[in-house]
């Protein structure tokens, strides 16, 4: 029931924003309702068709490389063009209306894409973020689809009555240009942060004004009224988005509570480490760094401010950062290390004496072999503890049975001195 409600909100929010543009671009054009619905719905269906291709690209080209962005854009632009080509064939669309139908296909595509983008924050009960997302997509991504598709639409209209070969060449060149524009928009927004968004949106708005001139001009007159309406729509949604971004809560209570608990856990851990002595100094330093970043991030969130790029990166990598800190925690008390270092030194001294003894009397070779084995394992254990690594199950078993191994060595050594069999000395 909750999911249905969430999806309904997302659909309504997307529909309102897209209908604004449908009204704007088609209000002065006489178009057939059936063909218009076919193209608009076809554009929306193209979103569903593009998803398998984009999932496959994620598998074969993981990450956000430029190649992946260009291929994603290619899939979307080809599908939108295919919808209009089908409409041209089935509904006999004339040259004068090809551009409008390309815009309708783009708006259909943007409509469903907007639903998918808006629905995410709604599931997290972040209505504000959904509204802001809808506004940004109305004046940015939705217009991106309109402009990129109109590049192809202009080419289709220009080459409408030309030979098949010329039409194919002109349309292909326009398709490539639309793909490049689409990919550069996405790359700029994702990789250049705020400046990339400003650059991409500005270029898109300028091209949209050029498109308005092509769609609404009469003879040589500039369509000042339509350009004015466009600018007013953009300003209105920028204002609404900016207001919501500043005034309404950016973070849900659950998100704030989760990070407040994380801060409390860090502060509790820090207090417990301070009481353990100087051997935990490096761990305390690492925990202090986490504490400072957490506190700074929470102050920003509690003031309803925007997190910086570094703070968002810290949030995304928080689990890995905490795990790295835990890996640096001393696994062994200093007393434990000291006791095994002492055992190692004692065995090394005994080993040195035993080598001299064996050199004089080979009868003590079996006890030397046992001593070598004990010494080898002791060295590995001390090295592991000094490097703060986890002991293996075999090492732990040896440590638990250490006294028994030492007793075995002493038993064999005693039997060798007496000249008796050492069979009774086995563990």
Question: From CA 79, how far away is CA 68, in angstroms rounded?
Answer: 17
Average pLDDT over residues 115-135: 47
Average pLDDT over residues 219-248: 70
| H-helix segments, 30-161 | 33-60, 66-91, 98-123, 127-139, 141-158
Query: Lowest-confidence range among 153-157, 166-170, 252-256, 406-410?
Result: 252-256
Q: Which two tokens stand for residue 38?
A: 């076919």
Question: From CA 331, how far away is CA 385, in angstroms rounded?
Answer: 8
Q: How large a percentage of the chain has pLDDT more than 70?
A: 82
| Distance, CA of 138 to chain centre | 24
Question: From CA 140, how far away is CA 257, in angstroms rounded?
Answer: 33
Burial (CB < 10 A; 0-12, 13-18, 19+), residue 323, is exposed
pLDDT of residue 276: 63
pLDDT of residue 39: 92
pLDDT of residue 40: 92
Question: From CA 215, how far away is CA 125, in angstroms rounded?
Answer: 40
Q: How large a percentage of the chain has pLDDT more than 90?
A: 9
Question: Could you state, in order of their start, the residue ranges of all structural domains in the chain?
Answer: 2-247, 253-328, 334-425
Burial (CB < 10 A; 0-12, 13-18, 19+), residue 48, is exposed
Which span out of 159-163, 178-182, 280-284, 308-312 was modeled with the highest average pLDDT?
178-182
pLDDT of residue 134: 38
Q: Which two tokens stand for residue 74?
A: 């290619």
Question: From CA 95, how far away is CA 107, in angstroms rounded?
Answer: 20
pLDDT of residue 160: 77
Model pLDDT for residues 95-107, shown as the tens digit of each residue: 778 888 999 999 9
More confident residue, 130 or 33: 33
Question: Looking up tokens 């060449």, which residue turns up?
Answer: 169
pLDDT of residue 26: 83
3-state secondary structure 352-399: HHHHHHHHHCHHHHHHHHHHHHHHHHHHHHHHHHHCCCCCCHHHHHHH
Question: From CA 302, how far away is CA 50, in angstroms rounded?
Answer: 39
Per-residue b/e over 335-348, b at no fewer than 16 CB within 10 Å? eebeebeebbeebe
pLDDT of residue 137: 43
Model pLDDT for residues 413-423, shown as the tens digit of each residue: 888 887 788 78
The pTM score is: 0.55
More confident residue, 57 or 263: 263
Model pLDDT for residues 345-359, shown as the tens digit of each residue: 888 888 888 888 777
Question: Looking up tokens 């002791």, which residue turns up?
Answer: 378
Q: Which two tokens stand for residue 308?
A: 């910086």
pLDDT of residue 138: 44
Assess whether pLDDT exceeds 80 at residue 298. yes
| CB 107, CB 43: distance < 8 Å | yes
Assess whether pLDDT exceeds 80 at residue 129. no
Give strand pairing partners of 221. Answer: 218
Average pLDDT, the chain: 78
Angle between helices 33-60 and 98-123 (to 10 degrees): 60
Query: Lowest-confidence range among 126-130, 176-180, 225-229?
Result: 126-130
Q: Which two tokens stand for residue 14?
A: 């997307």
Model pLDDT for residues 156-202, shown as the tens digit of each residue: 888 877 888 888 899 999 999 999 998 888 888 777 766 767 777 78
Model pLDDT for residues 324-333, shown as the tens digit of each residue: 777 777 667 7
Q: Which two tokens stand for residue 2?
A: 């909750």
Assess whether pLDDT exceeds 90 at residue 132. no
SS3 content of the chain, % helix, strand, coil (to 5): 85, 0, 15
Give strand pairing partners of 218. Answer: 221
Contacts of 190 (CB under 8 A, 6+ apart): 64, 196
- For residue 254, name the pLDDT band (cuts at 50, 70, 90): confident
Contacts of 82 (CB under 8 A, 6+ apart): 46
């Amino acid at each position: 029931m909750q999911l249905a409600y969430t999806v309904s909100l997302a659909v309504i929010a997307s529909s309102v924003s897209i209908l604004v543009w449908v009204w704007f671009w088609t209000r002065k054009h006489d178009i057939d309702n059936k063909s218009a619905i076919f193209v608009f719905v076809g554009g929306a269906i193209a979103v569903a068709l593009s998803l398998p291709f984009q999932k496959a690209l994620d598998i074969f080209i993981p990450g956000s490389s430029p190649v992946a962005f260009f291929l994603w854009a290619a899939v979307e632009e080809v599908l939108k063009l295919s919808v209009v080509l089908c409409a041209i064939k089935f509904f006999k669309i004339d040259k004068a209306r090809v551009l409008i139908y390309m815009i309708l296909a783009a708006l259909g595509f943007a409509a469903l894409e907007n639903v998918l983008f808006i629905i995410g924050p709604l599931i997290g009960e972040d209505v504000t973020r959904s509204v802001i997302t809808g506004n940004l997509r109305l004046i940015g991504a939705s217009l991106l689809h309109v402009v990129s598709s109109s590049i192809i639409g202009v080419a289709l209209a220009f080459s409408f009555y030309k030979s098949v070969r010329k039409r194919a060449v002109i349309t292909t060149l326009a398709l490539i240009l639309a793909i490049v524009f689409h990919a550069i928009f996405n790359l700029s927004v994702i990789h250049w942060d705020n400046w990339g968004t400003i650059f991409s949106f500005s270029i898109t708005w300028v091209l949209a004004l050029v498109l308005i001139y092509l769609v609404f001009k009469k003879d040589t007159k500039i369509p000042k009224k339509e350009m004015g309406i466009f600018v007013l729509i953009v300003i209105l949604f920028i204002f609404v988005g900016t207001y919501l971004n500043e005034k309404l809560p950016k973070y849900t209570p659950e998100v704030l509570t989760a990070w407040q608990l994380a801060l409390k856990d860090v502060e509790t851990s820090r207090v417990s480490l301070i009481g353990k002595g100087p051997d935990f100094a490096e761990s305390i330093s690492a925990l202090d760094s986490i504490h400072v970043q957490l506190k700074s991030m929470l102050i920003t969130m509690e003031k309803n401010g925007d997190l910086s790029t570094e703070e968002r990166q810290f949030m995304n990598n928080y689990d890995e950062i905490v795990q790295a800190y835990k890996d640096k925690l001393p696994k062994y008390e200093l007393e434990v290390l000291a006791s095994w270092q002492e055992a190692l030194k004692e065995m090394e001294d005994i080993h040195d004496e035993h080598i001299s003894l064996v050199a004089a009397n080979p009868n003590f070779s079996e006890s030397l072999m046992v001593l070598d084995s004990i010494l080898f394992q002791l060295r590995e254990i001390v090295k592991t503890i000094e490097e703060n690594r986890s002991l293996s199950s075999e090492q732990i078993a040896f440590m638990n049975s250490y006294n028994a191994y030492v007793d075995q060595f002493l038993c064999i050594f005693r039997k060798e001195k007496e000249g008796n069999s050492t069979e009774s000395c086995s563990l």
